[in-house]
Amino acid sequence: MHVDRVRAISNAILEGLGKVYVGKRMVLTKMMAASFANGHVLFEDYPGLGKTLLAKLFSRIIGCQWSRVQFTPDLMPADILGTKVWRMKEETFSLEKGPIFTNVLLADEINRSPPKTQAGLLEAMEERQVTIEGETY
């Protein structure tokens, strides 16, 4: 894609975000850079300052799916990755995808979850894949 086209798209997205999410232009710019670089963004801020709103708004503006996961001490890897479910009529297992199968994921308070759950999230972030019951997706 030509640089001028990328700049125009980026400015249009930033303008759309800036209409609702006011006062943090640098956060928006860094979020756009991470998106173009196929990276991740870590938001650290006080409660109630719009992190969820920003993730939801960003995904809506770029036309993507989004989901939010509240990490808790009892959250299991299958809760975010998904699991295989037995389908009686078909007599086979099928994948029931978890919230990680989305374009924009807001993972809230990751540090509160068990190490195995964190490992599942980190695999998805680093490798762009998940392993469910020995199969990779």
How would you label 33-43 residue by residue, b for 16+ Cβ within 10 Å and e otherwise? eebeeeeebee
Whether the CB-CB separation of 36 and 6 falls below 8 Å is answered with yes
CATH number of 96's domain: 3.40.50.300
The 3-state DSSP class for residue 127 equals helix
Which pLDDT score, from 0 to 100, does residue 22 have? Answer: 86
3-state SS, 1-34, equals CCHHHHHHHHHHHHHHHHHHCCCCHHHHHHHHHH
Distance CA 105, CA 56 (A): 9
Mark whether 3 and 33 lie in a shared domain.
yes
pTM to 2 decimal places: 0.82
Per the structure, how many domains does the chain have? 2
pLDDT number for residue 119: 94
| pLDDT the model gives residue 64 | 93
**Domain limits for position 39:** 1-64
Mark whether 71 and 6 lie in a shared domain.
no
Q: What is the pLDDT of residue 1?
A: 66
pLDDT (tens place) for every residue of the chain, 137 residues total = 688 998 898 899 999 898 998 888 888 899 988 998 999 999 888 888 889 999 999 999 999 999 999 999 999 999 999 999 999 999 999 999 999 999 999 999 999 999 999 999 999 999 999 999 889 99
Angle made by CA atoms 45, 47, 48, in degrees to the nearest 5: 110
Do residue 38 and residue 103 come from a single domain?
A: no
Q: Say yes or no: 97 and 55 in one domain.
A: no
Q: Which two tokens stand for residue 79?
A: 């809760």
Instruction: Tell me which DSSP letter residue 128 carries.
Output: S
If asked whether residues 51 and 86 sit together in one domain, one would say no
**Pair of tokens at residue 103:** 């374009």
